[in-house]
Amino acid sequence: MAENTRDHRDSQGGAGRSEYHGVPANALPLTAGEDRQWATLAHFGGILGCVPALLIFLIFRDRGPFTAQESKEALNFSLPPTIAAVVANILVFIPVIGNIFAVIATLIWIALTCFSVAAGIHVNKGQPHRYQYNLRWIK
C-alpha cells in the first residue's frame, strides 16, 4: 500500500510531496441530515449560552442554508440573556444584594435552557423555528 502511494507521488513529479498538496481547503456543503443536525445543535447549545451558536454560525453558515438560518436565530436569541447572566454573576459579589443577582442569574439560565431545548426539538423535526421574543441583532 505504501509503495502504491509513493509511486503515485513520484509519477506526478512531486517526489517528497504528499498527494494532497495543492488541494483547496474549501469545505464541502452539508448533507440534509448534517444541516438539520448542526441547526439542532445550535439551539441545544443555548444551554451553555451564546458561544455554541456563535461557533456553529461562524463555521457552518456557508455550508448549509438551514444551519445558517437556525444558528443565526439561536445566536440572536441567546446573546442578550447570556450577557445579562454574565452581568448578574458579576453582581453576585455585591455584599448585601448579591443573593438576589444569584437568583436572577439562575432564572435566566433556566429560561434559556427551556426555550433552547424546545426550539432544538422543533428544529430536529426539520421545521424552522422563530423565537417569539428575539432582538435579531445579527442580520
pLDDT in tens, 109-118: 999 999 999 9
Assigned domain for 60 exists = yes
How many folded domains does the chain comprise? 1
Span 29-59, pLDDT tens digits: 888 889 899 999 999 999 999 999 999 999 8
Lowest-pLDDT range of 6-15, 44-53, 71-80, 113-122: 6-15
Whole-prediction pTM: 0.76
**CA distances, 58 to each of 71, 76, 92, 99 (Å):** 9, 13, 32, 36
Residue 67: name the closest of 91, 49, 89, 42 by CA: 42
Assigned domain for 6 exists = no
Assigned domain for 133 exists = no
pLDDT score for 23: 46
Q: Where does the pLDDT of residue 61 fall: very low under 50, low under 70, confident under 90, or very high at 90 and above?
A: confident
Assigned domain for 110 exists = yes
Cα–Cα–Cα angle for 88, 93, 99, rounded to 5 degrees: 70
Q: Where does the pLDDT of residue 136 fall: very low under 50, low under 70, confident under 90, or very high at 90 and above?
A: confident
Domain that residue 54 falls in: 32-125
Cβ density class 71-103: b for 16+ within 10 Å, e for less: bbbbbbbbbbbbeebeebbeeeeeeeeeeebee
Assigned domain for 72 exists = yes
Assigned domain for 71 exists = yes
Assigned domain for 14 exists = no
Assigned domain for 132 exists = no
What is the C-alpha to C-alpha distance for residues 14 and 7, in angstroms, rounded to an integer?
10
